[in-house]
Amino acid sequence: MKASIKAALISALVFPGLGHLVLRRGARGLLFIVPALLAAGYLLRTTLVLADTIVTEINSGKLPLDPLLIVERVHSAGVDNPATNLAALVCIVCWVGSVLDALWLGRHR
């Protein structure tokens, strides 16, 4: 298997930018790893805070254990805002960009 294909698969299936380490392009890989890691961390933190809030409301009896009401509570939480949308976009762009860049680097080696 060609190194560029292996790098693209690692970037696509594991984490963006990790395939660049296979190609010995660590600095270039960090251009994909760092923003994707920060954006994924923000999304994870936002999700965990919302989940903790909902669990606390369920345990206190404020929110009944009804799936439809829980879904409604999630939608009303306001997590669909420009910051989370931007973080999701950064993740997607880094993922796709790292795969395409790994393939491009392999062809121009």
Question: What does the pLDDT look like over 46-92, one tens digit per residue?
Answer: 999 999 999 999 999 999 999 999 999 998 988 888 999 999 999 99
Calculate mean pLDDT across residues 94-100.
Answer: 96
- Give yes or no for residue 106 having a pLDDT over 80: no
Tell me, what's the pLDDT at 80? 82
Mean predicted lDDT score pLDDT of the chain: 93
Q: What is the pTM of this model?
A: 0.84
If phi > 0 it is left, if psi is from -120 to 50 it is alpha, else beta; for residue 81 that is beta
Contact criterion met (CB below 8 Å) for 109 and 4: yes
Residues with Cβ < 8 Å from 34, sequence gap 6 or more?
A: none
CA distance 54 to 48: 10
Of residues 37, 16, 36, the one with CA closest to residue 101: 16
Contact criterion met (CB below 8 Å) for 15 and 33: yes
